[in-house]
Structure 1
Amino acid sequence: MLARRREIGDQIRAARLHANLTQEAVALRAGMTLAQYNRIEQGHSSPLLDTLIRIADAIGVPLAHLVREEPRPAP
């Protein structure tokens, strides 16, 4: 689970940087504290779906863009 949270955090960070936004700007737009947002981006927190939707809206990307998984090769 921790690895998947970190992957989502990495995707959130990449989308934020692509949008040229700071963590503070996204947190403000999403209605959360900078500390809350930072924990999500670092993969240390498990956000609710509503929170992920607010983050996606704050960055200006579809929710699926933040949580999609890359296909993994079959074993």
Structure 2
Amino acid sequence: MSSAPPPAWVIARRRAIGEHIRTARLHANLTQEALAERAGLDRQTINRIEQGHASPLLDNLILIAAALHVPLADLVA
């Protein structure tokens, strides 16, 4: 059973969240690899989230926010 792709506005929002994460990561002067290590994730996961190609799990967003020392709300606002 396949599900329909998400609406365009959801994809756009996912990309915006990825951009917030990328901006916070660069502000912290971290590479994707360094952020992944701090968050306990792999670099490809960070890359897919930043590019908006993956819909991140809430747990992963919480881990990323903690690794960046920013409130979760800053990443999804």
**TM-score under structure 1 length normalisation:** 0.87
* Alignment-mate amino acid for residue 47 of structure 2: N
Q: 2:69 aligns with which of 57, 60, 70?
A: 60
Unmatched 5+ residue regions in structure 1? 69-75
**TM-score under structure 2 length normalisation:** 0.85
Pairing of 1:1-75 with structure 2 (within 5 A): 1-68=10-77
| Percent sequence identity over aligned pairs | 68
Unmatched 5+ residue regions in structure 2? 1-9
